[in-house]
Amino acid sequence: MKIGVPREIKNHEYRVGLTPPSVAELVAAGHSLFVETGAGAGIDFSDADYIAAGATVLPSATEIFAAADMIVKVKEPQPQEIAMLRPDHILFTYLHLAADKAQAEGLMQSGATCIAYETVTSRTGSLPLLKPMSEVAGRMAIQVGAHYLEKEQGGRGVLLGGVPGVAPARVAILGGGVAGVNAAQIAVGMRADVTIYDISNERLAELDMFFGSQIKTAFASKSAIAAAVRNAHLVIGAVLVPGAAAPKLVTREMLKTMKRGSVIVDIAIDQGGCFETSRPTTHADPVFEVEGVTHYCVANMPGAVARTSAFALNNATLPFALKLANLGAEAAMRADAHLAAGLNVAGGQIRHPAVAQALDLPYSPWG
């Protein structure tokens, strides 16, 4: 198969769909790799590194899309990239369509087979291609939150871990999944006062066993969330409904009760965000203020630590990319129901029920 890797063009996105080691694995399996010049520059890989791995370097995205049968990316295709997709293309990348109807309609018009990293499943029901970036985003959320709590950043002037004689900051984490757990690990390491909120009593019990006395847990009722928001210095939104829009857990009225200079970090912004006042931001302009509260809602948080993120992502995606390349999309999905769960759009139709429901578009099962 001919596989293309374009340079990412989303604002301050430095990750790359395939690293040179991943390219070498695909070349060894008999496939042809085409990489856009400069695609790996953001993580310090040169065109020469890709050539040494067996790839052909092409000067433009237009030539990459024209040459390839499968496009492997990191972030959702931008409008100019969607315009280059063909019905015979396989697109393998993050899509997050539930919060982006325009993108979904563009992909439908392209006719391409679009497989989203974030809805590929595992035998345990987890999301293996979302997990590494959720780990990164969760860990980043705390360091970002701590930074924006600093007074010169417009924050309340609170040190996350406090000092002897002065209480630490209170951190509320909404969601006890992968991102939430990783956020808690860093917050605990920084000696913050941490509470995780979740709607699953079973998950709360697991978290209690895992963290012991290092954190507190609470059932995520509306009243509990309202109290959390009112009392916390830093609130992390880490909820996820696979393929669907994130639920709005925190209303503007709740936000009004927060202390001036507090911070929220909305990890769920790719899926529309879990705060009513959230809107996507970029690394170039990452924060805004509503009701005296700093909002950090960058939709590609892991892009800030691009080298770590690119390697972590490739570790997870490479086996699936190999399967798609070796068998073709249809045979690969018939052979692997977990990969088939990643199919969001194909043949001009929405193929994932949660995406269809979120966008109020017809759902057409595949296969």
Other CB atoms within 10 A of residue 95 CB: 28
d(CA 134, CA 309): 10
d(CA 183, CA 56): 40
Given the residues 31, 69, 89, 96, the one annotated as active site: 96
Beta bridge partners, 90, equal: 70, 113
d(CA 341, CA 105): 20
List Cα–Cα distances, 324 to 97, 147, 224, in angstroms: 21, 41, 45
Residue 278, token pair as written in the block = 């959230």
- The full DSSP string for 214-273 is GSEEEE--HHHHHHHHHH-SEEEE----TTSPPP--B-HHHHTTSPTT-EEEEGGGGGT-
37-48 in b/e form (b: 16+ CB < 10 A) is bebbebbebebe
Given the residues 89, 270, 295, 352, the one annotated as active site: 270
Contact 295, 287 (CB under 8 A): yes
Q: Is 31 a known active-site residue?
A: no
Residue type, 109: Q
List Cα–Cα distances, 183 to 19, 91, 169, 211, 355, in angstroms: 27, 31, 14, 12, 27
Handedness of CA 82, 73, 8, 359 (dihedral sign): positive
Q: What is the DSSP letter of 121?
A: -
Q: Is 285 a known active-site residue?
A: no
Residue of 118, 227, 236, 125 lying closest to 172 (CA atoms): 236
Other CB atoms within 10 A of residue 59 CB: 10
Angle at 23 between CA 97 and CA 343, to 5 degrees: 25
Contact 301, 72 (CB under 8 A): no
What residues are annotated to the active site?
Answer: 96, 270
